[in-house]
Structures are given as structure tokens and as C-alpha cells.
Homo-oligomer: A and B are copies of this chain.
Amino acid sequence: MTTKYLLQEEDMPRQWYNLAADLPTPMLPPLGPGGQPVEPHHLQAIFPENLIEQEMSTQRWIDIPDPIREILFRWRPTPLRRAVHLERYLQTPAKIFYKDESVSPAGSHKPNTAVAQAWYNREAGIRKLTTETGAGQWGSALGFACAILDMECKVYMVRISFDQKPFRRLMMETWGATCIASPSRETKAGRDVLERSPDTPGSLGIAISEAIEAAISDPEGKTRYSLGSVLNHVMLHQTIIGLEARKQLAMAGVKHPDVVIGCAGGGSNFAGLAFPFTCDKIHGASIRIIPVEPSSCPTLTRAPFAYDHGDTAGMTPLMPMHSLGHAFVPPPIHAGGLRYHGMAPLVSKAVVEGLMEPLSIHQSECYQAALTWARTEGFICAPETSHAIAATIRQARLAREEGRERNILFCYSGHGLMDLAGYEKFMRGQLVDHPLPEEDLLKSIEAFASFPKPQPA
């Protein structure tokens, strides 16, 4: 039985797919501090013009430049695999396919956009990128991309991760990136925080502020900021995942999957896999599309669709998205990549349009799924990815109960080799779940109560 569907390099997509072109109603614009729609020139100190253009584009197909394709060839096209061993273990009539994005140099889907962003910046004459990183997945992906494109890279890493998780930092340094603990003394934002709280563990919000400040204060203007999720152009770059998967499913004789699943933090791996199939659904295909998030950070499942800031400090424009409130501090779950208060506006919009069915799952069920996966399929998944596997197992069991064949496709967004501490806690029985009480949610979403409300188009 064939369990791997491999594409040749010449079969790799030559265009990215932009869901904004096919949504039933148009996207709402991001808003500036005064409530007015953001204009491209407002963003030029932070992003290069070519990426701002992509961010605002409603063109359906956007060419992937050949030099980007050539870099992606290092690990793309990625395999589509069938999880026959998990199927047998679950005694399900469902066929489980997964798109394996763990095979990239950084071990996740993140380099798909890191490479594209670095390349566009370099085309625009930029020599250096700054970014923030939590546990280090995104920082290492951007470090890799900058190494390959011979650019400088500076990563502001949340201090507690910087101290406790040296290995992702060492990956970045191996690729020649500079990684410093945030808050740092190198930026005003960092110094301000350190004066108030010298022993702060740091936060993503502070690190974003530092990275943006470092980008806009380069006197030569050769530095820009790079973000690993949430934005439209990031989703765009990730659609190569789903476009490849669609070709590979055809090789397996599957016209379209019945269920598409991905974990969703900022939304990028989920969108990357799901958006091409969302297009099929808009055009009539019957597909359930399920973004899966942690029950302790239930953005799509419990938060309202609102205008809110993308960062804790309120430095970004207001974006139309589901949000738990920009000041929301998620509990310390191990899936660090899913601890984000907001959601990619394109994903939120698709949910509002009824194209997707969000689901939240507690981390203990996810780790159980990860162990089942490791002991059947053999690979060790990232804690983020375990959410997609847990949802897949639920769907496969449902198929067994209903006695129905079903083609399930999920995104295997990354391996877990740098994230084994959570496995240890689970195996020792020390892992706890963190339900979000209704009163905490209500208090948290007050943060955007005074902001403009999204209006239907």
C-alpha cells in the first residue's frame, strides 16, 4: 500500500493563492490610531513596499519568484503521507492524510514565509531584519532564511525562553543570527520596562515593541521588521502547503478531502493548508474545515470578532479579527505557538462567513494524541501539531462510529524534538489543563470595548 505521495521539484506550485479574492464579502481594512483605514505609506517604515502590496492585494494568484522557489527546493515539495498505522490502531474506515511540514531545516512550516519575506526585503534593498520570538520557532526560521540570503538577522527572544530554552537560540546562532534576551537595554522600549521591572520574564508584546523600534530606528533605513503569522502576506506564502497537498491527494485518487484540519495560533499553518480547499468549498465542494486551538486560548471558539491590536503594547494597527483582548495573558501551556490572543484576519473572516468550524481541545487530550502518534506512526510531533492530531483522532473515531469512509487531511506543522519537556510532564502525570472561566474572558475582552466595531460590508 502506498503511504507517501511525492512531488518532483517541477511540480511545486508557481503561484500562491490569495483567499481574499474569493471571500463572499470583502475584507475589512486595518485601522490606524484615529480609526481611519491604514494606507500603504503608514507601514513603510516597518515593511518594504513589495510586501505591503501583497498585504493589501486582492489578486487571486500571485507569482512565486524563481529565486524563492529555488530556496524552497531545499526541502519542498514536502511529502504527503498517509497515516495507515494510526488508521489501523483506531480501526477506522477513514483515510488519514497528513502534509509533512516538519522536514524543513527549522523543523516547521515557518520557513515558507521566512524565505519569502527575507527575499522581498532584500529585493527592496533591505540588509537586515528584526523580529521577536517566544519559544524560538519563528526566530530560528527567520535566522535560517537570512543565512541563505546573506542578510543580517536580529531576534528579540522573550527572556524566560532565552534563559530556559537555549537550543532554539543556538539554532539561530548557528545560522549566524543575533539573538538577545528581551527586554534588552538596546531599545527605549526595553529600557523602560527594565527600569520599572528589572526582573521581568519578558513577553511577546515587549519583544515586538523592541523589534519594531530597532527596525524603524536604523539611521540608514536598511532595516525592516518581519512577522511570522497573522498578516495576509504570511497566509499567502503558506498556501503553497495546501496547493501541493491538493496535487498529492489527486495522486491518491482523492478529488477533495472530506475534512481539513490544522492547529491555529496566529493561523499560518492552518491557513496554508486550508485556504486552497476553502476556495473549493466556496465553489461548491463539501468540505469540513476545522481550525483547532487550545481550550485555554480559545480565540475562534469563544472570543468575539472585533477590531483589536495585534500586540500587547498596542503599537500595531487595529485588525478585524477574533480576539481575547490584546492584554490577554494565556496560561503557560506547552504549545507556545498557539498562545496568541488574536487570529489572522483572513482566518477570522472565513469563520465569520461560515466557511470553517473552529474547535478547541485541552492540552492533556493533545498530549495523549501525540503519544499515540509517536507509538503508531513513529514520529514525535510539536505540541502545537498535537492539537491537529487530537482533532483528527476525533474525526477518525466519528467515522468508525458512523461506519463511513472519510478522507481526512491535516497539517503536520512541525516536529517536537526541541519541545520534549511537555511530553515529560504529561508522562509523569504532572500536566494540568487550564480552562478559561467566563468571567476572565469578559474582563479580558474589555480591552477593545472602546475601539470601532467591525461593520458588515
Spell out A's residues near B (CB within 8 Å): 2-4, 6, 8-9, 73-75, 85, 103, 105, 107, 144, 147-148, 166-167, 170-171, 173-176, 371, 374-380, 417-418, 420-421, 423-424, 427
Contact = CB atoms under 8 A, between A and B. Distances in A.
Nearest to A144: B378
Nearest to A6: B6
A173 B4 contact: no
A160 B28 CA distance: 58
Nearest to A10: B2
Contacts of A379: 74, 105
B173 A427 contact: yes
Contact of A380 (B171, B371, B377, B421): B171
A378 B171 contact: no
Contacts of A166: 420, 424
Given A4-B9, A6-B8, A171-B420, 4 more contacts: A2-B8, A2-B9, A3-B73, A105-B379
Contacts of A417: 107, 167, 171, 417-418
8 contacts: A3-B73, A74-B378, A74-B379, A103-B103, A171-B380, A174-B371, A176-B375, A417-B417
Contacts of A176: 375
Given A3-B73, A418-B417, A105 B378 contact: yes
B423 A170 contact: yes
Nearest to A426: B174
A185 to B, nearest CB: 21
Nearest to A115: B378
Contact of A147 (B103, B144, B173, B378): B378
A249 B417 CA distance: 31
Contacts of A3: 9, 73-74
B170 A374 contact: no
Of the listed residues A173, A378, A421, the one surrounded by the most CB atoms of chain B closer than 10 A to its CB is A378
A13 B3 CA distance: 17
